[in-house]
Amino acid sequence: MPRLPLSPARPTVTNTIATRRSALRSGVLAINGLKAAIAIVFLVHPSAMDAWIGPTAQAHGGRVLLRSFGARDLALALGAMTARDVRARRCWLVAGAASDLVDSAATLAAARRARQELGPLSTLTAAWAAASGVSCLVLAAVVSE
């Protein structure tokens, strides 16, 4: 009768790489899936974001702006999630990170110029955009499919 090993087998390089790729892919899908969901809200119901940009969200021009914002973020998220090769995925992630970081900085700068505190939704939006941007940059740096 063959002897069974007493300790678990050591992970192979192939298993470790596959696990890493799976985790990175999950990260890309999670961050960009949430970004896509938020973008759809901007497209379908832009006036819901009035707490972020104020009464401008209720005006026709504000709704156009928010829908454009949603379309941009949806395109960036879908691009990152569906890219077929590493180079393309990195490009989509870096583009998404840049737009998120600019959105966060613009929100903070607008509040500073107006000399007022951010409301809860503006604070959440700025924090989400910053976190999403940094996350996308980290993923872009380590993605290696």
The per-residue pLDDT for range 83-96, each reduced to its tens digit, is 999 899 999 999 99
Q: Per the structure block, which two tokens stand in for 15?
A: 């298993």
User: CA-to-CA distance for 119 and 40, rounded, in angstroms?
Assistant: 22
Distance of alpha carbon 93 from alpha carbon 17, whole angstroms: 21
3-class SS at 39?
helix
pLDDT, tens digit only, all 145 positions of the chain: 566 555 555 666 566 667 777 888 888 899 999 999 989 988 998 887 776 777 777 888 888 988 998 999 999 999 999 999 989 999 999 999 999 999 889 888 887 887 777 777 778 888 888 999 999 899 888 876 5
Residue 30 zone, left/alpha/beta (φ > 0; ψ -120 to 50; rest): alpha
Write the pLDDT tens digit of every residue in 63-79: 898 899 899 999 999 99
Report d(CA 107, CA 1) in Å as an integer. Answer: 70
Please give the model's pTM, rounded to 2 decimal places. 0.78
